[in-house]
Amino acid sequence: YIGGIFDIESLVEKLLHQLASKQTIVVNVYDTTNASHSISMYGPTVLDNRQRHVSPLNFGDPFRKHEMQC
Protein backbone atom coordinates (compact mmCIF):
# COMPACT_ATOMS: atom_id res chain seq x y z
CA TYR A 1 0.00 0.00 0.00
CA ILE A 2 1.36 3.39 -0.95
CA GLY A 3 -0.33 6.23 0.90
CA GLY A 4 -0.52 9.80 -0.22
CA ILE A 5 -1.92 13.16 0.64
CA PHE A 6 -4.51 14.51 -1.76
CA ASP A 7 -5.51 18.14 -2.13
CA ILE A 8 -9.25 17.46 -2.39
CA GLU A 9 -10.11 21.09 -3.08
CA SER A 10 -7.70 21.18 -6.01
CA LEU A 11 -9.03 17.89 -7.41
CA VAL A 12 -12.64 19.09 -7.16
CA GLU A 13 -11.80 22.36 -8.89
CA LYS A 14 -10.03 20.55 -11.74
CA LEU A 15 -12.94 18.15 -12.22
CA LEU A 16 -15.52 20.95 -12.18
CA HIS A 17 -13.45 22.90 -14.69
CA GLN A 18 -13.44 19.92 -17.05
CA LEU A 19 -17.17 19.28 -16.60
CA ALA A 20 -18.03 22.92 -17.21
CA SER A 21 -16.20 23.01 -20.56
CA LYS A 22 -13.93 25.82 -19.41
CA GLN A 23 -16.72 27.67 -17.59
CA THR A 24 -16.62 28.37 -13.89
CA ILE A 25 -18.93 26.40 -11.62
CA VAL A 26 -19.21 27.66 -8.05
CA VAL A 27 -19.90 24.94 -5.49
CA ASN A 28 -20.97 25.53 -1.91
CA VAL A 29 -21.59 22.84 0.71
CA TYR A 30 -23.73 23.64 3.74
CA ASP A 31 -24.72 21.95 6.98
CA THR A 32 -28.48 22.60 6.93
CA THR A 33 -29.39 20.77 10.13
CA ASN A 34 -30.65 24.08 11.54
CA ALA A 35 -32.67 25.40 8.58
CA SER A 36 -32.76 28.96 9.93
CA HIS A 37 -28.95 29.11 10.29
CA SER A 38 -27.07 26.96 7.77
CA ILE A 39 -23.30 26.59 8.21
CA SER A 40 -20.98 26.98 5.24
CA MET A 41 -18.59 24.01 5.02
CA TYR A 42 -17.02 24.58 1.60
CA GLY A 43 -17.06 27.28 -1.04
CA PRO A 44 -16.74 31.04 -1.31
CA THR A 45 -18.28 33.24 1.36
CA VAL A 46 -19.61 35.72 -1.20
CA LEU A 47 -22.71 34.48 -3.02
CA ASP A 48 -24.43 35.92 -6.05
CA ASN A 49 -28.11 35.74 -6.92
CA ARG A 50 -27.74 33.59 -10.02
CA GLN A 51 -29.82 30.49 -10.58
CA ARG A 52 -28.64 27.63 -8.35
CA HIS A 53 -29.01 23.87 -8.43
CA VAL A 54 -29.47 22.44 -4.93
CA SER A 55 -28.76 18.78 -4.15
CA PRO A 56 -29.01 17.01 -0.79
CA LEU A 57 -25.84 15.31 0.45
CA ASN A 58 -25.64 12.28 2.72
CA PHE A 59 -22.45 11.95 4.77
CA GLY A 60 -23.83 9.00 6.75
CA ASP A 61 -24.85 10.93 9.89
CA PRO A 62 -28.63 10.52 10.40
CA PHE A 63 -28.74 13.51 12.77
CA ARG A 64 -27.26 16.06 10.36
CA LYS A 65 -28.47 17.40 7.02
CA HIS A 66 -26.24 18.76 4.27
CA GLU A 67 -26.74 20.24 0.83
CA MET A 68 -24.64 21.26 -2.14
CA GLN A 69 -25.46 24.36 -4.16
CA CYS A 70 -23.96 24.81 -7.64
pTM (predicted TM-score): 0.63
**pLDDT, tens digit, for every residue of 19-61?**
766 666 788 889 999 989 999 888 887 766 677 888 898 888 8
Report the pLDDT value the prediction gives residue 3, as an integer from 0 to 100: 45
Going by C-alpha positions, the residue among 7, 64, 16 that lies closest to residue 41 is 64
Map out the domains of the chain as residue ranges.
8-69
Which pLDDT score, from 0 to 100, does residue 45 have? 74
pLDDT at 36: 94
Give pLDDT, residue 22.
62
